[in-house]
Structure 1
Amino acid sequence: MTDDPASLDLLHDIVVPPEVPWWPLAPGWYILFAIALLSLTYWAYRCWAKWQANAYRRVALQELSAAGSIADVSQLLRRTALKIAPRPVIASLTGSEWPEWLATCFPEPMPDACRTQLADGGYARVSSSSDLETLKEYAHRWIKLHHPPEVCSEVKPQA
Structure 2
Amino acid sequence: MTPEDFEGKNLVELLDMLEPVPEPAAISMWPQTQGWLFLLLVVGLLALWGWLKWRDHHRANAYRRAALVALNDAGDDPVRIAEILRRTAVIGFSREAVAGLAGQDWLRFLDRNCAQGGFDSDLGRKMIAAPYQSGATEEVPGLQALAKVWVKSHQAEGAA
TM-score w.r.t. the length of structure 2 is 0.70
Match for 2:125: what amino acid? T
Partner of 1:118: 127
Partner of 1:54: 61
Partner of 1:39: 46
Q: Tell me which stretches of 4 or more aligned residues in structure 1 moved more than 3 Å.
A: 20-24, 121-129
Q: For residue 76 of structure 1, report the CA deviation from its aligned partner.
A: 0.5
Alpha-carbon contact 2:67-2:84 (below 8 Å) kept: yes
Given the alignment, which residue of 139, 151, 156 partners 1:143? 151
1:80 paired to 2:88: yes
1:91 paired to 2:105: no
C-alpha RMSD over aligned residues: 2.6
Q: Structure 2: which 5+ runs fail to align?
A: 1-26
Q: For residue 90 of structure 1, report the CA deviation from its aligned partner.
A: 1.3
Write the distance in 1 (CA, Å) between the matches of 2:39 and 2:122: 57
Flag the structure with larger Rg: 2
Q: Deviations over 1:34-71 (max 9, x none)?
A: 11000000001111111111111111111112225211
Change (3 A) 1:75 1:120: same
SS at match of 2:40: helix
Alpha-carbon contact 1:117-1:124 (below 8 Å) kept: no
Segment drifting more, 60-69 vs 133-142: 60-69
Q: For residue 119 of structure 1, report the CA deviation from its aligned partner.
A: 4.0
Identity of aligned residues (%): 26
Q: Deviations over 1:60-116 (max 9, x none)?
A: 111112225211111100000011212122111011000100111112121522232
Match for 1:113: what amino acid? D
Change (3 A) 1:79 1:23: closer
Q: Work out the number of aligned pairs and report it.
A: 129
Partner of 2:23: none
Partner of 2:21: none
Q: For residue 148 of structure 1, report the CA deviation from its aligned partner.
A: 1.6
Q: Structure 1: which 5+ runs fail to align?
A: 1-19, 151-159
